[in-house]
Amino acid sequence: MFNRDLLTYLEGFLTHGRIQRFKEVLEQRTKYLTVAIEDVYQLHNTSAVIRSCDAFGLQEAHVVEDRFGQRLDKNIAMGAEQWVDVHRYKKTSDCIAALRAKGYQLIATTPHHSSSSLTDFKITKPTALLFGTEKEGLSKEVLDNADGFLTIPMSGFSESLNISVAAAITVSHLMEQLRDSPIDWHLSVTEQLEKRLDWTKKSIKDVEGIIGRYQPN
């Protein structure tokens, strides 16, 4: 159960500006749209995608780390991982099952199928965008389980974009679409409060010691 008194107590260790910034950012956060990254080899690409999630308002990201292990470079993510909830999976099937359990439709981003153009795609239900490896793209397992396919329209000779660039373009476009729609895409009040508490804890040095001295009324 959420502890509002603990939040109030811990926020006493933050500046007013910091507290306000958390509130402003959380007002623009969503779980209605999320991304899943499958076996990306270049670790800076995974890190850059997480940073884009933070920049454009996605609260969660999902990372399959089957073949290449952990692919998150904290230097490149520039601290974004502490603001975005990153869920890690050892198998693609586990990621797919988790996204299904959360009620997401699975949209595979690929230029090689009967894809909807990003400019034509309408987000009308909770959506998980899936991005694949730099060379091979998404696995057959993802493509076989996808509810739809999405591609970014391009005018040059290249067939595809770097995964981090593709994710940034796609997420930015769909978040702009969501914000202009009547869909209630925001985090719930409880989710915002819980995340405020989480971020507040991450902002305080020796927070466990401070919590240990906390005396609730």
Predicted structure pTM score: 0.89
C-alpha 154/C-alpha 146 separation (Å) is 23
C-alpha 130/C-alpha 118 separation (Å) is 14
- Residues 96, 165, 41, 81, CA torsion sign: negative
Q: Do 47 and 77 touch, CB atoms closer than 8 A?
A: yes
C-alpha 50/C-alpha 59 separation (Å) is 10
Place of tokens 């999976």: 89
Domains of the chain by range and CATH? 1-29+187-211 (no CATH), 30-185 (3.40.1280.10)
From the list 124, 113, 125, 110, the residue with the least C-alpha distance to 170 is: 110
Give the pLDDT of residue 17. Answer: 98
Give the pLDDT of residue 79. Answer: 67
Q: At what angle do helices 4-11 and 189-202 cross, to 10 degrees?
A: 40
Give the pLDDT of residue 29. Answer: 98
DSSP 134: T
Give the pLDDT of residue 78. Answer: 46
Give the pLDDT of residue 45. Answer: 81
C-alpha 164/C-alpha 108 separation (Å) is 15
Q: Which residue has the higher pLDDT, 51 or 217?
A: 51
7-46 confidence digits (pLDDT tens): 999 999 999 999 999 999 999 999 999 999 987 656 678 8
Alpha-helical regions (H) of the chain: 4-11, 16-27, 43-56, 74-77, 92-101, 140-145, 163-179, 189-202, 207-212
Amino acid at 30: T
145-182 confidence digits (pLDDT tens): 999 999 988 776 566 678 889 999 999 999 999 999 99
